[in-house]
Structure 1
Amino acid sequence: MTTTTSARRRTGSTAVAVLVAGTFFMELLDGTILATAAPAMGRDLGVDSAAIGIAITAYLVTLAVLIPVSGWLTDRVGSRTVFAAAIAVFTVASGLCALSTGLVDLTLWRILQGVGGALMVPVGRLVVLRSAGKDQLVTAIAILTWPALAAPIIAPFIGGVLVDTLSWHWIFLVNLPLGAIAFVAALVLVPQERAAQRVPFDWLGSLLACFGLGALVVMASLLALDTVPVVAVVVSGVVGAVCTWLAIRHFRRAPHPIMGLDAFRLETFRVSHAGGSLFRLAVSAVPFVLPLLFQDAWRWTALEAGSAVLFVFVGNLGIKPATTPLLRWFGYRPVIIVSAGIAALTVVAMAFLTPDTPLWLLAVLLVVSGAARSVGFTAYNTIAFADVEQADMTPANTLSSTLQQTAAGFGVAVAAVVIRAGAGLEGSGAYAVAFWVIAVLLVVALVEGVLMSRSAGDAIRPARRQRVRA
């Protein structure tokens, strides 16, 4: 491959990665921003603000149950067609959400929006993984990682600003111009790729996965409510566990499963989705706990709380240029160990925060925490595909997207359950307990990092001689 051809490929894969990252950001933002706008939406639609939770849950459940279908649909119809159509569906549904006059139609349009989001992000990431190549995989995944870091942090702030200065409708209307730009960019940048061999659709596996994942996400959403419906939680948990178990058995035996499990034989993929899932769960919980601590325990305003949490985003953004060089210089094992360790220490420190903590000290703590979560996210997301062959990329990407979506959803649920369990403690005691639990999850991820092979991820880590030449 000539230098010119290689440079063109790098430029093309980077452009596609930026496009997919932008659509990922839209999807994640709409998954989290509604919580901020719920009171205003409830008043306008004539329902209690807690009832808006059904629109949030409907969106998350739709994402979970349809992600497994994305890989098969891409191989059958074509990557550009599916990706562009998903952007169009998501954008149109956003406009319809803004036009909603009641909770029923809002929920229906949120389901349609979830359909677009469930196809948009996994398909986009699959295109990036196929086009990047091993030498550009680290950079491409680093670009794809920032929306998962940024959206949960800045969503409360953006939501508060839009609702206070304009109206709740604008949390959906902002997607219209962004979606239009992304649609045109997708038609220009994304290649049209299909599988060489057409395989039949796995109806049984798809149904089992949909019911299993959907029920588990419903259970997580119910656990996060202020008043937990115990019977509904138990029923959804049992249904989710049984269907997921049956789905796993089916996937191991089916000739063409909707989600292949072969990637778990690879250490790098296994680490990314075992300890990596705990890491994602833990860092997803922190942006949920911090605003509650600031508002409920410290009596800060929503704007003050949202502004303070932005320091985590500063850490995410500030460390981003160094993330890829760190992985290339030190390798995955040391980076995962150190990032999980620093993240755990910062979360432990959060347990000792008080209203009298100096703002500068709080800012430093949140910036360091954000930097650790940024590096860890990128390391786990990149190493997942280090040893996956191109022919196996579709099932591995589908499985990865499904597991990541489930882990992120359970992060908020775990934090909510712990805070509720410690409700009888004085002051900010319940939040301190939540931080300790989150820290324990990060320590478990750290231990797995210690046990992983020193050579893990070397397939996408340039040799030292190559790095010097660069």
Structure 2
Amino acid sequence: MGVTGIGVVGIGVVGIGVARRVTGVGSDDVASEAAATPHADFPRALALLGAGAMFMEILDATIVVTALPSMAADLGVDAIDATGVVTAYLITLAVLIPLSSWLADRFGMRRVFLTALVVFTVASLGCALAPSLPVLIGMRVAQAAGGAMMVPVGRLAVLRAVHVGDVARAIAYLTWPALVAPVLAPLLGGLIVEHADWRVIFAINIPIGVLGVVAALRILSPDGPRADTPLDAIGAAGAIIAIGAAMAVAEMLTAAPIRWLVVAIGVIVAAVVGALTIRHLRRAAHPLLNLAVLRVKSFGSVIGYGTGYRMAISAVPFVVPLMLQLRLGWSPVTAGAMVTALFAGNVVIKPATTPLMRRWGIRQVLLAVAVASAITFAGLALIGEQTPPVLIAIGLFVSGMLRSIGFSAYNTVAFADVDATQLGDANALHAAVQELGNAFGVALASVTIALVGGGVGALPAGGYSVVFLALAVVMIICGVGAARLPSRVGAHALGGN
């Protein structure tokens, strides 16, 4: 059948497994988890709605990369110019996320979520019909504006609807899209470009979006504004400029050649404006984001060390396809199929993540994941032309399992100790920092590959091997952060015994 055929079949089989595990149909693991949860009124439909919106947005953000050469050729532009389709989306998404909490409180979560979903869907149609690159980039900006509200507000609706003992269960629903979508995107994008047209990538969002609107109208209860707080215009402007500059720096670091002077200017802008914005937020009567939530030790640890973890796991789906294609000479579709080993590892272990945290505690799980991930990355650094594909698949499968466990643990502990009154601020801040972590994970990999190049002594994959060693170091640092957490951190959010 070949690697490609195995990957395609694997997507179908594992995709069915995802649906069964998430919905609880035919899954003893999830059924036992539900039985251990003390609250019978868990909003499963709402959790699935939030997860579906998240999956659509994350998949759309990552799948486009594979189609850039086809887009450029069809629209009559250089491939380097077409990268604006990706960068405009990611930057817009990151800079608008901090507004999500204020909008949800000011206009109601149901209204904001529905509006965001409609905007995302209509913009997807605009992308599919775009006659030129400027129009396509403009539609991508509109898409990102919808996604920036849709995903964090959907998660906020779920977190506000669950009891504290059900937080881990809610996070289990909300984490699988972020684990699956970036890994599935390279293969799916390659198949669409190879057998259809790049415009299909955007067109598939339209029926999904329509179904999402219908589902949201039925699932989300009508709600009014929670507060009539005026918009903190200074805080909003500062956050937009600082985060936008940081995201621009991350994107510039992925370009070749790297324009170091522009990068330095971006870093200075991000640092200075960021510092001034933080100072303003701490002093303002009605700040856009209340930074007092960072005093919650568990949440602060996730914002710090958890962002490092996010950088590491975001770099892997970016590095592996490039290494397999550019270093080992594999085809794009075959390389994308191999990356589904990460996807398989994510899904296979997912039903066990909450039981593992209940049995050993979140702190111990994070420590174990950090050590095991560092060892796994060190092993992946040894991949070369002579490495059997089965060993590569095993390494990626193990990395995928660890990725799923650690991701679930960090996301659970992030909100475990956050007071209900601070949940909106924590959710928006967490979402924005996650986007920065994703961008800088890819940037770290790109810069390392560019600086190191092809040959590094005994390392078989050159710069790609060095990237994996760097990720191993990041994991060790994350382990230090986990060791500083209380031994029973987040235990009350796990439910069960």
Normalising by structure 2, what TM-score?
0.90
Task: Verify: 1:447 aligned to 2:480, yes or no.
Answer: yes
Pick from 141, 160, 163 the counterpart of residue 193 of structure 2: 163
Pick from 476, 485, 491 the counterpart of residue 458 of structure 1: 491
- Whether contact under 8 Å (1:75, 1:193) holds in the other structure is no
- Whether contact under 8 Å (2:382, 2:461) holds in the other structure is no
Pick from 406, 410, 413 the counterpart of residue 380 of structure 1: 410
For residues 184 and 112 of structure 1, what CA distance do their matches in structure 2 show? 21
Report the counterpart of residue 438 of structure 1 in structure 2: 471
> What amino acid sits opposite 2:276 in the alignment?
L
Give the drift of 1:192.
3.1
Pick from 375, 379, 388 the counterpart of residue 358 of structure 1: 388
Give the drift of 1:191.
2.5
Task: Verify: 1:288 aligned to 2:321, yes or no.
Answer: no
Task: Verify: 1:110 aligned to 2:110, yes or no.
Answer: no
Give the drift of 1:360.
2.0
Give the drift of 1:7.
6.0
Once the two structures are superposed, residues 263-316 of structure 1 have per-residue CA deviations (whole angstroms, 9 ceiling, x without a partner) of: 111111012111111111001001111111101110111011101111000000
Report the counterpart of residue 233 of structure 1 in structure 2: 263
Report the counterpart of residue 141 of structure 1 in structure 2: 171
Segments of 5+ residues of structure 1 without an aligned counterpart are none
Report the counterpart of residue 71 of structure 2 in structure 1: 41
Q: SS state of the match for residue 37, structure 1? A: helix
Pick from 304, 319, 344 the counterpart of residue 274 of structure 1: 304
Task: Verify: 1:191 aligned to 2:221, yes or no.
Answer: yes
For residues 251 and 412 of structure 2, what CA distance do their matches in structure 1 show? 29
- Whether contact under 8 Å (1:260, 1:399) holds in the other structure is no
- Whether contact under 8 Å (1:66, 1:210) holds in the other structure is yes
Deviates more, 1:222-231 or 1:31-40: 222-231
> What amino acid sits opposite 1:440 in the alignment?
V
Once the two structures are superposed, residues 222-274 of structure 1 have per-residue CA deviations (whole angstroms, 9 ceiling, x without a partner) of: 11012222332222222111111111111111111111111111111012111
Give the drift of 1:359.
2.1
Report the counterpart of residue 41 of structure 2 in structure 1: 9
For residues 64 and 357 of structure 1, what CA distance do their matches in structure 2 show? 38
Report the counterpart of residue 420 of structure 1 in structure 2: 450
Task: Verify: 1:342 aligned to 2:375, yes or no.
Answer: no
Once the two structures are superposed, residues 296-354 of structure 1 have per-residue CA deviations (whole angstroms, 9 ceiling, x without a partner) of: 11011101110111100000000001011111121110111111221111111010011
Structure 1 pair 194–441 and aligned structure 2 pair: CA distance change class (3 A): farther
For residues 175 and 85 of structure 2, what CA distance do their matches in structure 1 show? 26
For residues 231 and 293 of structure 2, what CA distance do their matches in structure 1 show? 20
Once the two structures are superposed, residues 193-219 of structure 1 have per-residue CA deviations (whole angstroms, 9 ceiling, x without a partner) of: 345432111000000000000111011
- Whether contact under 8 Å (1:267, 1:456) holds in the other structure is no
Segments of 5+ residues of structure 2 without an aligned counterpart are 1-34
Deviates more, 1:257-266 or 1:222-231: 222-231
Q: SS state of the match for residue 382, structure 2? A: coil
For residues 267 and 221 of structure 1, what CA distance do their matches in structure 2 show? 31
Report the counterpart of residue 338 of structure 2 in structure 1: 308
> What amino acid sits opposite 1:30 in the alignment?
D
For residues 272 and 28 of structure 1, what CA distance do their matches in structure 2 show? 21
Pick from 95, 100, 112 the counterpart of residue 70 of structure 1: 100
Report the counterpart of residue 429 of structure 2 in structure 1: 399
For residues 364 and 194 of structure 1, what CA distance do their matches in structure 2 show? 50
Pick from 319, 324, 329 the counterpart of residue 359 of structure 2: 329
Give the drift of 1:384.
0.6
Q: SS state of the match for residue 9, structure 1? A: coil
Deviates more, 1:423-432 or 1:251-260: 423-432
Give the drift of 1:8.
5.6
Report the counterpart of residue 62 of structure 2 in structure 1: 32
For residues 468 and 211 of structure 2, what CA distance do their matches in structure 1 show? 40
Task: Verify: 1:217 aligned to 2:247, yes or no.
Answer: yes
> What amino acid sits opposite 2:64 in the alignment?
L
For residues 438 and 191 of structure 2, what CA distance do their matches in structure 1 show? 25
- Whether contact under 8 Å (2:39, 2:166) holds in the other structure is no
For residues 423 and 281 of structure 2, what CA distance do their matches in structure 1 show? 16
For residues 447 and 410 of structure 1, what CA distance do their matches in structure 2 show? 20
For residues 199 and 111 of structure 2, what CA distance do their matches in structure 1 show? 29
Give the drift of 1:69.
0.6
Task: Verify: 1:369 aligned to 2:407, yes or no.
Answer: no
Q: SS state of the match for residue 150, structure 1? A: helix
Deviates more, 1:230-239 or 1:430-439: 230-239
Percent of aligned positions that are identical: 42
Give the drift of 1:406.
1.0
Q: SS state of the match for residue 417, structure 2? A: coil
Q: SS state of the match for residue 197, structure 1? A: coil
> What amino acid sits opposite 2:488 in the alignment?
S
Equivalent runs, 1:176-187 vs 2, <5 Å: 176-187=206-217
Task: Verify: 1:59 aligned to 2:89, yes or no.
Answer: yes
> What amino acid sits opposite 1:79 in the alignment?
M
Report the counterpart of residue 92 of structure 1 in structure 2: 122
Structure 1 pair 282–451 and aligned structure 2 pair: CA distance change class (3 A): same
Normalising by structure 1, what TM-score?
0.95
